[in-house]
Structure formats: structure tokens, C-alpha cells
């Protein structure tokens, strides 16, 4: 048995005695902490913690001095598109000049632009670019990440993307989940023949993706100008038949019906949610679908904000993820998401931390093993530089508070 003891922790944040699946409503404003603490890890799992004077004195393999830093569980980033080729900063200038996301997409920019570049890139190039991004988010405190396909938009390229994600899964200490998003945009060659593209996804892509075991989830961009509720229902039905649980893009551009469709098909999460009204909140209430807000995309595109406070007041849980992608959120920095949660969505720091750890763990289907510091969960955590408290994380909004990262109990 291998053990690791972290000592001199100023504050151990977000410990959990009784693991929960998620936190909702008023409960989101609470974080259980231990001041002046130790943390013991055994065989890559959290084993014990408590006040420093109760720390084990002998029989420990590795001792780590936190030097009065805080210790927090790693972020879980439940929504990214971090496998992509090239970047889209030039197109972003059109956005600055006033073109909307939909207008840029209609001109063959946007997702189709990334699809063209992905087509030209080799699997090795995609893998090494994506691993650069993985390294970057790892050093900023992310320990688990969901990655979507959706820049392929034809069978061969969608499979290529998913194989890259599989290779990332096999070679990084981060916990990775793959999401098949063939229905990200209608490819240019299918313009005016959207139904045929949906048929291709259903009849060809999903069976092949499932046959190779390349995805955990199925996704659809269910929104105005992209895929309809009918398209979405057809794709989700087939995905479910092939063992893929839905996690979908919904209500970013209008009241698309995506939230209702997601809940109806048992989606693990519905993501974006800028257009969420009373009907959508009522649908989400009592469901097992995690409402997930993507503050980075709303910030970068200057969109109206999802009504996070109203949703929490209604007793809902909220998750927040980075949406790391080249078009609408070219950053995977989850600490900045915590800042945006507080600055723009008026969450308190405790709510923001719950939204980016336990609730995103649920939105990736890994809440039993990740998302908090609980006995038996995977020891993914980070030690901060000496900072006054966790409230400092959202406050210092360009800060780099992470000093050391541990994944599966090992220095990463
Ligand atoms: O989540 N909304 C749809 N898809 C992505 C954007 C992808 C892109 O523009 O490349 C998103 O924001
Ligand atoms: Fe997205």
C-alpha cells in the first residue's frame, strides 16, 4: 500500500462525510472545511483527514508540506471541445464588429471552419495539440474533463476525433469522458438537406461509434439555426439504443425546446441555458438532468446570461463548465469560470466551487469517484500558494493560485 500525507494545510476545502450526488438550491452555498488540517491518501484514494494534531505520525511513504496553502478537490470540467485544429481569432474580429454567432456560422465560418481544418489535420497533430491543452488545464487545477467530437461532421472525421479522445483518455492522468457530437452543425455539403445529415448520424455514425466503444455520451446542438427538437429526439433515441446517455447543447440562442427534450430523454445534463424561463425551470425541477451553464461562452460572445440565481432560488442545482473551444470559449481555465460565476452570475464562492466540482462531476457521471474530498474517492486535488481563503479564488480573477497538482494521489 502506498500512502501520502499532506501536512500544514491552512484550510482543507470541500470535504464530505456522506457523499451526495449533487448539491442543489440553498445547499449550494455550503462547503464543509477543516482548518489547520492534514490529508491522508492511500493507493491513490482519499483515506482520512482531520485537524493537524491528529495526523498519523508514522508509517507514511511520502510527506508533502502544503506550507499553509489551501487544499481543494480538482475541478471537473464537464463540457469541452478541446480537440480541434487551428484557432479562430480572425473570425473573432467579425464578432467584435457586430456579426452574431449564427451569422458567422451561415457564412461558412464557425464550426464548419473548424471542421475544414480538422479534416486537414492528422490524428497525431490533433493529439499533440490537444495534449498541450490538457497540460494547461491540468496545471490550472482541472482533474477530470469531458471532451466532445463535432468538428468532423462526416463519418471518418468524427471517428478520427473520437480516436484522438480515446488516446488522450489512455495517456493522461485526468479522468476523461468522450461525447459524440456529430450533430454540432450541418456540414456545408448537406446544406438544405439537414434531414439526410441526421439520417447519416443515426444510421452510420452512431452504430460505428458504439461498435468501437468510442463514446460515453451523445450530444446534439438543439438550437435555432442548428438542430430541431425533432432531429434531437431522433438522434437521442438512437444514441440511447446504442448505450450512449444524452448530454446536450440547449437554449443558447432561443427557447429551443432543447431543455424539455433533454429532460424527456433522461439527459445527464443540458448545457448553455441562456434562454431558460419558468417553463424550463419547472421541467428541470425533480429531474435527474443537471442544468449546466457555460459562463466562458456567454462572456466571450457577449450573450445574455442564464438566470442562475433564479434557478438556484427554485431549488435547482447548477453546474458550470468551461466549454473550451476555438469559437465561443478559447479557454479551459476553470478558476476563471469560478470568477465569472461570482462576478457575472452573482454566485457566492461556495456556490461557484460546488458548481465546478461536485455538480460537474455528476454531469460527467463520475460523482461517486470525483468532485469532493470524500473517503474512497480518487485523490485528485491541488495545493494553493498561501492565500487568505477560498474566497480569494474568484476575487483575484487573473490569479494563478494553484501551486501543486495531485492526480490519483501522484504529483502531476
Ligand atoms: O458550445 N454552441 C455550440 N457549440 C460550441 C461552439 C463551438 C464552436 O463555435 O466551434 C459551444 O459554444
Ligand atoms: Fe459546447
Nearest alpha carbon, ligand 1 atom 5: 328
Cell numbers 446504442 label which residue? Answer: 242
For residues 255 and 284, the answer to whether their CB atoms sit within 8 Å is no
What is the predicted pLDDT for the residue at 152? Answer: 98
What pLDDT digit, counting tens, does each position of 47-62 carry? 999 999 999 988 899 9
Least trusted range by pLDDT, from 104-113, 205-214, 222-231, 378-387: 104-113
For residues 339 and 394, the answer to whether their CB atoms sit within 8 Å is yes
Nearest alpha carbon, ligand 1 atom 12: 328
What is the predicted pLDDT for the residue at 107? Answer: 77
Q: Is the CB of 359 under 6 A from ligand 1?
A: no
Domains located in the chain, CATH noted: 3-73+371-411 (2.30.40.10), 75-364 (3.20.20.140)
Ligand found nearest the CA of 179: 2
The whole-angstrom distance between residue 159's C-alpha and the CA centroid of its chain comes to: 21
Q: Is the CB of 111 under 6 A from ligand 1?
A: yes
- Is 199 one of the annotated binding-site residues? no
Give the confidence band of 211 by pLDDT, cuts at 50, 70, 90: very high
Q: What is the mean pLDDT of residues 204-217?
A: 98
Residue 76: pLDDT over 80: yes
Residue 321: pLDDT over 80: yes
C-alpha span between 205 and 210 (Å, rounded)? 9
Choose the residue to mutate in 226, 258, 327, 363 for probing ligand 1, maximizing ligand atoms within 8 Å of C-beta.
327
- Is 315 one of the annotated binding-site residues? no
Give the confidence band of 100 by pLDDT, cuts at 50, 70, 90: confident
| Average confidence score pLDDT of the chain | 97
Choose the residue to mutate in 91, 295, 325 for probing ligand 1, maximizing ligand atoms within 8 Å of C-beta.
325
Distance in Å, CA 294 to ligand 2 centroid: 8
- Is 323 one of the annotated binding-site residues? yes
Environment of ion ligand 2 (residues, CB < 5 A): 323
Q: What is the mean pLDDT of residues 162-168?
A: 98
Q: How many residues does the chain have?
A: 412
Q: How many CB atoms lie within 10 A of CB 90?
A: 9
Q: Is the CB of 326 under 6 A from ligand 1?
A: yes
What is the predicted pLDDT for the residue at 396? Answer: 97
Longest C-alpha distance within the chain, in Å?
70
What is the predicted pLDDT for the residue at 293? Answer: 98
Q: Is 28 helix (H, G, I), strand (E, B) or coil?
A: helix
What is the predicted pLDDT for the residue at 109? Answer: 81
- Is 30 one of the annotated binding-site residues? no
Least trusted range by pLDDT, from 101-105, 250-254, 353-357: 101-105
DSSP state of 154: S
What is the predicted pLDDT for the residue at 121? Answer: 98
What is the predicted pLDDT for the residue at 105? Answer: 76
Distance in Å, CA 376 to ligand 1 centroid: 36
Q: Is the CB of 295 under 6 A from ligand 1?
A: no
For residue 88, give the ligand 1 atom closest to its CA.
Answer: 10
What is the predicted pLDDT for the residue at 104? Answer: 85
Give the confidence band of 103 by pLDDT, cuts at 50, 70, 90: confident
Residue 334: pLDDT over 80: yes
What pLDDT digit, counting tens, does each position of 107-131 carry? 778 999 999 999 999 999 999 999 9
Distance in Å, CA 114 to ligand 1 centroid: 10
What pLDDT digit, counting tens, does each position of 128-145 carry? 999 999 999 999 999 999
Element containing residue 120 per DSSP (H, E): helix 110-120
Give the confidence band of 102 by pLDDT, cuts at 50, 70, 90: confident
What is the predicted pLDDT for the residue at 266? Answer: 98
Q: What is the mean pLDDT of residues 24-47?
A: 98
Residue 150: pLDDT over 80: yes
Q: Which three cell numbers stand for residue 82?
A: 478541446
What is the predicted pLDDT for the residue at 222? Answer: 98
Q: What is the mean pLDDT of residues 345-356?
A: 98
Q: Which three cell numbers stand for residue 283?
A: 421541467
Residue 257: pLDDT over 90: yes
For residue 326, give the ligand 1 atom closest to its CA.
Answer: 10
Give the confidence band of 154 by pLDDT, cuts at 50, 70, 90: very high
Give the confidence band of 287 by pLDDT, cuts at 50, 70, 90: very high
What is the predicted pLDDT for the residue at 66? Answer: 98
- Is 189 one of the annotated binding-site residues? no
What is the predicted pLDDT for the residue at 186? Answer: 95
Q: Is the CB of 78 under 6 A from ligand 1?
A: no
What is the predicted pLDDT for the residue at 1? Answer: 79
DSSP state of 397: T
Residue 105 neighbours by CB under 8 Å, 6+ apart = 111, 112, 185, 225
What is the predicted pLDDT for the residue at 69? Answer: 98
Ligand found nearest the CA of 114: 1
Q: What is the mean pLDDT of residues 79-83?
A: 98
For residue 271, give the ligand 1 atom closest to its CA.
Answer: 1
Nearest alpha carbon, ligand 1 atom 7: 327
For residue 110, give the ligand 1 atom closest to its CA.
Answer: 9
Residue 207: pLDDT over 90: yes
Q: What is the mean pLDDT of residues 362-368?
A: 98
Alpha helices in 201-265 (DSSP H): 206-211, 229-241, 258-264
Q: Is the CB of 84 under 6 A from ligand 1?
A: no
What is the predicted pLDDT for the residue at 68? Answer: 98
The whole-angstrom distance between residue 235's C-alpha and the CA centroid of its chain comes to: 22
Amino acid at each position: 500500500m502506498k500512502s501520502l500525507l499532506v501536512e500544514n494545510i491552512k484550510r482543507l476545502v470541500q470535504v464530505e462525510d456522506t457523499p451526495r450526488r449533487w448539491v442543489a438550491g440553498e445547499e449550494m452555498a455550503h462547503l464543509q472545511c477543516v482548518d489547520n488540517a492534514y490529508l491522508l491518501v492511500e493507493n491513490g484514494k482519499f483515506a482520512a483527514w482531520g485537524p493537524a494534531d491528529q495526523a498519523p505520525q508514522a508509517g507514511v511513504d511520502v510527506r508533502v508540506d502544503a506550507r499553509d496553502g489551501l487544499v481543494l478537490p480538482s475541478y471537473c470540467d464537464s463540457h469541452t471541445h478541446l480537440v480541434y485544429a487551428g484557432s479562430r481569432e480572425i473570425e473573432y474580429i467579425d464578432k467584435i464588429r457586430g456579426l452574431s454567432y449564427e451569422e458567422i456560422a451561415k457564412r461558412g465560418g464557425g464550426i464548419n471552419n473548424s471542421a475544414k481544418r480538422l479534416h486537414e489535420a492528422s490524428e497525431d497533430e490533433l493529439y499533440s495539440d490537444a495534449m498541450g491543452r490538457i497540460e494547461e488545464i491540468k496545471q490550472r487545477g482541472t482533474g477530470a474533463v469531458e471532451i466532445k467530437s463535432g468538428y468532423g461532421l462526416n463519418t471518418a472525421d468524427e471517428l478520427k476525433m473520437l480516436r484522438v479522445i480515446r488516446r488522450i483518455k489512455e495517456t493522461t492522468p485526468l479522468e476523461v469522458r468522450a461525447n459524440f457530437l456529430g450533430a454540432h452543425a450541418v456540414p456545408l455539403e448537406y446544406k438544405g438537406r439537414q434531414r439526410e445529415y441526421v439520417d447519416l448520424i443515426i444510421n452510420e455514425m452512431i452504430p460505428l461509434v458504439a461498435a468501437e466503444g468510442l463514446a460515453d455520451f451523445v450530444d446534439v446542438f438543439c438550437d435555432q439555426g442548428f438542430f430541431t427538437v425533432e432531429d434531437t429526439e431522433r438522434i437521442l433515441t438512437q444514441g440511447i439504443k446504442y448505450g450512449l446517455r444524452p448530454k446536450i447543447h440547449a437554449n443558447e440562442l432561443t427557447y429551443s425546446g432543447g431543455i424539455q427534450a433533454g429532460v424527456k430523454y433522461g439527459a445527464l445534463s443540458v448545457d448553455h441555458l441562456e434562454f431558460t424561463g419558468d417553463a424550463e425551470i419547472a421541467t428541470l425541477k425533480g429531474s435527474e438532468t443537471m442544468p449546466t451553464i457555460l459562463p466562458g461562452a456567454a462572456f466571450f460572445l457577449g450573450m445574455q446570461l442564464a438566470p442562475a440565481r433564479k434557478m438556484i432560488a427554485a431549488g435547482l442545482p447548477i453546474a458550470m463548465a468551461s466549454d473550451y473551444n476555438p469559437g465561443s470559449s478559447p479557454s479551459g481555465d476553470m478558476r476563471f469560470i469560478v470568477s465569472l460565476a461570482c462576478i457575472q452570475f452573482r454566485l457566492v464562492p461556495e456556490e461557484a466551487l460546488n458548481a465546478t466540482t461536485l455538480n460537474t462531476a455528476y454531469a460527467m457521471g463520475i460523482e461517486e469517484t470525483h468532485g469532493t474530498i470524500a473517503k474512497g474517492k480518487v485523490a485528485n486535488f491541488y495545493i494553493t500558494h498561501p492565500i487568505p481563503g477560498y474566497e480569494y479564488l474568484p476575487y483575484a480573477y487573473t490569479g494563478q493560485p494553484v501551486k501543486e497538482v495531485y492526480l490519483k494521489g501522484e504529483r502531476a
